[in-house]
């Protein structure tokens, strides 16, 4: 809600930087100097399942935003909303319908391809190790194979003749993909996506655009995951 004197409150971001989509939204806000209040929802302590957060977001997921009475979940929707509402530089989410459609094309493709395979491969290893259970390597291999296939599509289709996933400059599509794939770095498995030459060069370009912000959220993100994995695996 706005303040009593009519001044609008900053956007609230409910997130955990160990979450790939949370990092994508965080980086977009920071890169564009958009004021926001960061509200940590500790996934590893189960805070997303507790009544306090469920009353705010019944889907019990992060990221989630509150913007002066307007609430929104789903990272792709949040990224597009922020880009449009805050009038960020056009390359993040272009106004031209054809250029915007390229960003949307990737965002729609992402969830059933890159995210499905990368996050499942990560979860099947990380959370089993965290719980002290044996890792089902056969199941992990299935999703690693799936990831290899979609990485080929990423490199040979989305990045064919393009510097970035949707064109000549970084967009919200690149943030979504970057943060998802980098989760595998915490397991020392970056080779699962860096083996594709186009993807490797693209990754270097995207990191070059947002490197300080990646470093800013590293302590509570990849670095935490990496340390925990090394202790448990």
**Token representation of residue 139:** 């199941």
DSSP lists the bridge partners of residue 14 as 39, 64
Of 179, 123, 114, 172, nearest to 147 by C-alpha is 114
Average pLDDT over the chain, rounded to an integer: 95
Domain residue limits, the chain: 11-91, 92-232
Q: What's the CATH code, domain 11-91?
A: 3.40.30.10
What average pLDDT does range 204-233 have in this prediction? Answer: 95
Q: What is the chain's Cα-based Rg?
A: 18
Give, as one character, the DSSP assignment of residue 140: H
DSSP lists the bridge partners of residue 37 as 12
HEC string of 25-41 equals: HHHHHHHCCCCEEEEEC
Categorize the per-residue pLDDT at 6 as very low, low, confident or very high, splitting at 50, 70 and 90: low
Task: State the pTM of this model.
Answer: 0.95
**Token representation of residue 105:** 């094309």
Q: Give the integer Cα–Cα distance in Å for 28 and 68.
A: 19
What pLDDT, on a 0 to 100 scale, did the predictor assign at position 88?
A: 96
**Token representation of residue 10:** 């900053």
Q: Give the integer Cα–Cα distance in Å for 208 and 69.
A: 35
Q: Give the integer Cα–Cα distance in Å for 60 and 41.
A: 10
C-alpha distance from residue 115 to each of 25, 30, 42, 182, 195 (Å): 16, 23, 21, 11, 18
pLDDT higher for 7 or 196?
Answer: 196
Q: Give the integer Cα–Cα distance in Å for 141 and 197.
A: 22
Fold (CATH) for 92-232: Glutathione S-transferase Yfyf (Class Pi); Chain A, domain 2 (1.20.1050)
């Amino acid at each position: 809600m706005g303040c009593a004197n009519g001044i609008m409150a900053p956007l609230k971001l409910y997130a955990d930087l160990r979450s790939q989509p949370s990092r994508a939204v965080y980086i977009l806000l920071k890169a564009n100097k958009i004021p926001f209040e960061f509200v940590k929802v500790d996934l590893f302590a189960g805070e997303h399942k507790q009544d306090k957060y469920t009353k705010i977001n019944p889907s019990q997921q992060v990221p989630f935003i509150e913007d002066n009475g307007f609430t929104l979940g789903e990272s792709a929707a949040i990224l597009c909303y922020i880009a449009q509402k805050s009038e960020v530089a056009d390359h993040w989410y272009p106004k031209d319908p054809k250029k915007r459609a390229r960003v949307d094309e990737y965002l729609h493709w992402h969830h059933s391809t890159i995210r499905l395979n990368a996050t499942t491969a990560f979860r099947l290893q990380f959370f089993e190790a965290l719980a002290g259970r044996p890792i089902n390597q056969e199941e992990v291999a299935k999703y690693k194979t799936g990831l290899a296939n979609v990485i080929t599509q990423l490199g040979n289709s989305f990045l064919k003749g393009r510097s970035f996933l949707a064109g000549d400059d970084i967009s919200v599509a690149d943030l979504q993909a970057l943060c998802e794939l980098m989760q595998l770095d915490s397991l020392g498995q970056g080779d699962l996506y860096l083996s594709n030459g186009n993807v490797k060069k693209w990754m270097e370009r995207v990191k070059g655009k947002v490197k300080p912000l990646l470093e800013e959220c590293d302590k509570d993100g990849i670095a935490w995951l990496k340390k925990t994995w090394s202790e448990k695996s």
